[in-house]
Structure 1
Amino acid sequence: MYLAVVAGGFRRYATYRAATVAGVFTNTVFGLILVYTYLALWNERPDLGGYGPAQAVTYVWLGQALYATLAVQGGGFEIELMERIRTGEIAIDLYRPADLQWWWLAHDLGRSGFQLLGRGVVPFLFGVLVFPVALPGDPLTWFAFLLTVLLAMVVSFAIRYLVALSTFWLLDGTGVMQMLMILGLLCSGMVLPLNVFPGLFGEVVRVLPWAALLQGPADVLMGETGALPVFALQGAWAVALLAAGRLVQSAATRRVVVQGG
């Protein structure tokens, strides 16, 4: 059943062809802006964060490929789930012969898969063809990288699921979504690689769950770290956050609160 939900999520987002084309264009343009900004920065600091210029460029295009895939600033299932909680339609979901958390995880994996193929691949290939990049020639490294992306999808879902469940108490999740957007942009390394952040702040952000989204997969792809430490970080956060989501779901669904009474 859950495989069918994954396929359904993929097909659902595949119908938005115009939005996908616009997203590809947007990611490519932002990629170009970031690349030239990074190159100017790395021209002054050639080994900033332990990266060379080619690695910095690779990091940019990987970030553009994974931005929508991982819904770094939100924009996936959580908006729909928040609305269903607010209106009380979540009661119907709870009567379905499927686990609520697993249902939405399967749906989001389908969305992520389409965004990776439909919106992420083209900007990444554009960057690889136009700029000097640092990519591995070893198929095992690529396989390990794809596994890190899959784990990053799960971690991303787990973060956003907790955000969505907050609507059971807040009824309006706008403020929490704003916090998610800010934290996702900064702590995932989408603005700058987390390796460049100095001191205690850098040490903290590199162990937060958002580090499992972009920084970990990027370092595996470019050979900056072994796959096992990244798997461990991602796996630990996936288990912890999914478990937290399960506990919050259990507490929240004891009483479904509908806005207005």
Structure 2
Amino acid sequence: MLSYWRILTATFRQHTTYRTATLAGIFTNSMFGLIRASILLAAIHAAGGELNGYTALQAATYVWLGQALLAPIEAFGTREVAARVHQGDVAVDLLRPLSFLGLFFAQKLGRSSYYLLARGIPPMLIGALLTGLALPEDPLSYPLGVLTIALAITVAFLGDMLVNLAAFWILETRGLTVLYNSVMNLLSGFLIPILWFPPWLLAIARWTPFPSMVQTPIDVLSGRVGPASAIGLIGVQSAWILVLLLAAAVMLRAGARSLEVQGG
């Protein structure tokens, strides 16, 4: 565990050196937050002040919490593992005295921790000043909300890892990455709350892990669901983590065997 902690902290420190990129990320995140907030607020105004249970303040909160989660969950995906597979560097990773998934998860947590603090919270504070935020009334919602963020990052990591591990069998994964990210950003509720979906699309979304990445932490942190319901949502997140972890382990094992067959 100490090795993984050192990897996590080293990754965190590494990203603290990218100050210009951090400032650019804060600016971009804030601008897109304003654009998204204006669109959602216009929709609510046209609906008469409320849309599927969302008031203007709740919709604005939804946007700013979503912007805060954008970088930590890496909503646009990563391609590092896929690149290492194609370049053959994955053979070295598999020989390390550390779990392959544990190694990259530690790096993910280091990046996500920095992104949340440096690129997630500042835009949310800007949003609080410009539009206000709806906050939970029950103090228990705050620690539960932090837990849902950690679980959301884990679910997002495993989903992205499955796409990357497809590189063992697919020579070019960019198309798959684009498709996955498009579906994820829609069904996770990042673009609009899933309660705004038509019934058939809402049913599909709820049978996927994607709402656990965005919709769940936002619902808990904004107070739309109480602690009792939050515990149920945490259970759903945990179940998806187990399912995706098993799938990733199976894919990794099969991919490692294919490398051996090819002489890798």
TM-score normalised by L of structure 2: 0.93
> Structure 1's 194 and 258: CA in aligned 2 closer, same or farther, altered over 3 A?
farther
Q: Single out whichever of 228-237 and 22-31 deviates more from structure 2.
A: 228-237
> Structure 1's 57 and 94: CA in aligned 2 closer, same or farther, altered over 3 A?
same
Is 1:239 aligned with 2:242?
yes
Aligned partner of 1:7 in structure 2 is 9
Contact 2:134 2:223 in 1 (8 A): no
Contact 1:20 1:118 in 2 (8 A): yes
Identity value in percent: 39
State the distance in 2 between where 1:85 and 1:168 align: 6
Is 1:249 aligned with 2:252?
yes
Contact 2:16 2:114 in 1 (8 A): yes
Aligned to 2:134, what secondary structure does the other structure show? coil
Structure 1 residue 154: deviation in Å? Answer: 0.4
State the distance in 2 between where 1:104 and 1:49 align: 39
Q: Extract unaligned runs of 5+ from structure 2.
A: none
Aligned partner of 1:26 in structure 2 is 28
Aligned partner of 1:170 in structure 2 is 170
Structure 1 residue 103: deviation in Å? Answer: 0.7
TM-score normalised by L of structure 1: 0.94
One-letter amino acid matched to 1:110: G
Aligned partner of 1:107 in structure 2 is 107
Q: Extract unaligned runs of 5+ from structure 1.
A: none
Is 1:61 aligned with 2:71?
no
Structure 1 residue 152: deviation in Å? Answer: 0.2
Post-superposition Cα deviations, 1:25-44, rounded to whole Å, max 9, x if no partner, equal 00000011111111110012
State the distance in 1 between where 2:255 and 2:111 align: 26
Structure 1 residue 133: deviation in Å? Answer: 2.1
Contact 1:136 1:142 in 2 (8 A): yes
State the distance in 2 between where 1:4 and 1:258 align: 34
Aligned partner of 1:52 in structure 2 is 55
CA RMSD of aligned residues (A): 1.7
One-letter amino acid matched to 1:71: E
Post-superposition Cα deviations, 1:104-141, rounded to whole Å, max 9, x if no partner, equal 11110111111000100100011012213211244321
Aligned to 2:191, what secondary structure does the other structure show? coil
Paired residue total? 257
Q: Single out whichever of 220-229 and 156-165 deviates more from structure 2.
A: 220-229
State the distance in 2 between where 1:233 and 1:201 align: 19
> Structure 1's 80 and 257: CA in aligned 2 closer, same or farther, altered over 3 A?
farther
One-letter amino acid matched to 2:24: A
Structure 1 residue 258: deviation in Å? Answer: 11
State the distance in 1 between where 2:196 and 2:260 align: 44
State the distance in 1 between where 2:74 and 2:52 align: 25
Structure 1 residue 5: deviation in Å? Answer: 1.2
Structure 1 residue 232: deviation in Å? Answer: 1.3
Is 1:97 aligned with 2:97?
yes
Contact 1:85 1:168 in 2 (8 A): yes
Contact 1:148 1:217 in 2 (8 A): yes
State the distance in 2 between where 1:137 and 1:119 align: 26
Is 1:36 aligned with 2:35?
no
